[in-house]
Amino acid sequence: MPATTPDTGISMLLIEGGLTVILFAVAFALPRLGSPLFVPIERTFDRLARRKHLSVALVGVCALLLRLAILPFCPIPLPFVQDDFSFLLAGNTFALGRLTNPTPAMWLHFESIQLTMQPTYMSMYFPAQGLISLPVRCSSAIPGLGSCASMR
């Protein structure tokens, strides 16, 4: 079922599709319409592309800033699949200053696909995922923010 606006009931997909068709028609009918605007922008990005390290850093910063900008509209997702919980376990384990956790007394009742219980209790994945989320996890009270920083 397409998303609708509460007031009008018009589908956002219909609005976006209609605007896309209109913009493509204008682009084919008047190909030089935006040329005076886009030529300086293209030159600027051409100069930026020649500086590879700066380009990579700028893409990363822009992605981070865009994600922060849409946080009010699209909040941090809650852990949903078993992998997410396993990554959170790894991040929490490293945040507590441990490499692994001691095996619980009744470990058979807590066994999961994504967790290793014997000889110690830890995520089955490589530690890099938990280590990437470690700085964010240590500086934030929001548990999902660490996994969000390293996956999404």
Each residue's pLDDT tens digit, 114-124: 677 778 788 88
Cβ of 137: how many Cβ atoms within 10 Å?
Answer: 24
> How many helices and strands in the chain, by DSSP H and E?
6, 2
Query: How far does Cα 76 stand from its chain's mean position?
Result: 9
State the Cα–Cα distance between residues 104 and 89, nearest whole angstrom. Answer: 14
Cis peptide upstream of residue 75 (ω within 30 degrees of 0):
no
| 101 vs 112: which has the higher pLDDT | 101
Size (the chain), residues: 152
State the Cα–Cα distance between residues 65 and 83, nearest whole angstrom. Answer: 26
| Structure token digits, residue 103 | 């095996």
| 90 vs 111: which has the higher pLDDT | 90
Alpha helices of 51-81 — where are they, by DSSP H?
52-69
Look at residue 82 in the predicted model and tell me its pLDDT: 78
Confidence grade of residue 76 (pLDDT, cut at 50, 70, 90): confident
Distances 103 to 36, 115, 117 between C-alpha atoms, Å: 67, 11, 6
Q: Are strands 122-123 and 115-116 parallel, antiparallel or unpaired?
A: antiparallel
State the Cα–Cα distance between residues 47 and 55, nearest whole angstrom. Answer: 10
Confidence grade of residue 141 (pLDDT, cut at 50, 70, 90): low
Mean pLDDT of 132-149: 65
Cβ-in-10-Å burial (0-12, 13-18, 19+) of 95 comes to middle
Question: In the chain, which ranges are E strands?
Answer: 115-116, 122-123
